[in-house]
Structure 1
Amino acid sequence: MKIALPTRDGCIDDHFGHCDHYTIITLDNDNKIVSKEPMDSPEGCGCKSDIAPILSQMGVKVMLAGNMGQGAVNILQSNNIKVIRGCSGEIDTVAANYLAGKVEDQLIVCDHHDCANH
């Protein structure tokens, strides 16, 4: 299984649609991390880019994000990617906490672009 994390400076980017890149974590059958690699973020805002089908084709099943609009949530979910919002901090810590069952979707939805709160 693969997990995607919108990343900026080694941390979860506060706003999915404007991240510097994605960190793609690959897990083995025992949910142990076997690889971690960066993937460039496409041009355009998250929900308007083609990132959801690309991630789905790569085998990504979970997106650990800070915040995102409902449009992005819908597109990711329609591509069979589970969305977990409300994540923050260093990507390694967020991934470890998710794998330990300590991360739940906070249902945080940004309802406008250029959100000053992120």
Structure 2
Amino acid sequence: MRLAIATENGYVAQHFGRCPGFTIVDIEDGKIINKNLIENPGYKAHQPGQVPMFLRNQSVTHVIAGGMGPNAVMNLQAAGIKVIVGVTGKVEDVIAQFLSGTLSGGESLCEHGHGNCKH
């Protein structure tokens, strides 16, 4: 299993497509075997569909973010990637919650066109 957590300054980023990077976490048998931060290729020049394709090519199975637009959700799900949005907090805490089965998502914190998402 491979998680990609939208990350900004050690916290779950509010906006998936415009976060500076992703914390990539490899999990086997319920344990972290590898973790690193990679740059978001769409951070400086965001293009629709670019980031979901990048994460699919990284063999990501789950994406965690504070918020995400509906097209990104659709593209990730079409690639077989599970999406969890509405998540806040420190990345380390979110990883622990995911591993323990207590991570719960909610509504996307980024609603395009409604002024709630700070790009």
TM-score interval w.r.t. the shorter chain?
0.7 to 0.9
Gaps of 5+ in 2: none
Secondary structure at the counterpart of residue 7 of structure 2: strand
Pairwise CA distance, 1:18: 1.4
Please say if residues 110 and 117 of structure 2, whose CA atoms lie closer than 8 Å, have aligned partners that are also in contact: no
**CA distance in structure 2 between the partners assigned to 1:113 and 1:6 by the alignment:** 21
How far, CA to CA, are the matches of 2:9 and 2:57 in structure 1? 26
Superposition RMSD in Å: 2.0
Q: Does the 8 A contact of 1:70 with 1:111 survive in 2? A: no
State the one-letter code of the partner of 2:32.
I
Secondary structure of 1:94's match?
helix
Unaligned runs of 5+ in 1: none
For the residues of structure 1 that align with 2:17 and 2:85, how far apart are their CA atoms? 13
What's the TM-score, normalizing by structure 2? 0.85
| Correspondence for 1:105 | 105
> Which whole-Å deviations, capped at 9, do the CAs of 1:63-113 have from their partners, x for residues lacking one?
011011111100111111100011111111001101111123314264415
Higher helix proportion, which one? Answer: 1
Question: Is the CA contact (8 Å cut-off) linking 1:83 and 1:105 kept in structure 2?
Answer: no
Runs of 4 or more consecutive aligned structure 1 residues displaced over 4 Å after TM superposition: none
Identity of aligned residues (%): 32
| Paired residue total | 116
Q: Residue in 2 aligned with 1:84?
A: 84
TM-score of the two chains, using structure 1 as the length reference: 0.86
Change (3 A) 1:110 1:2: same
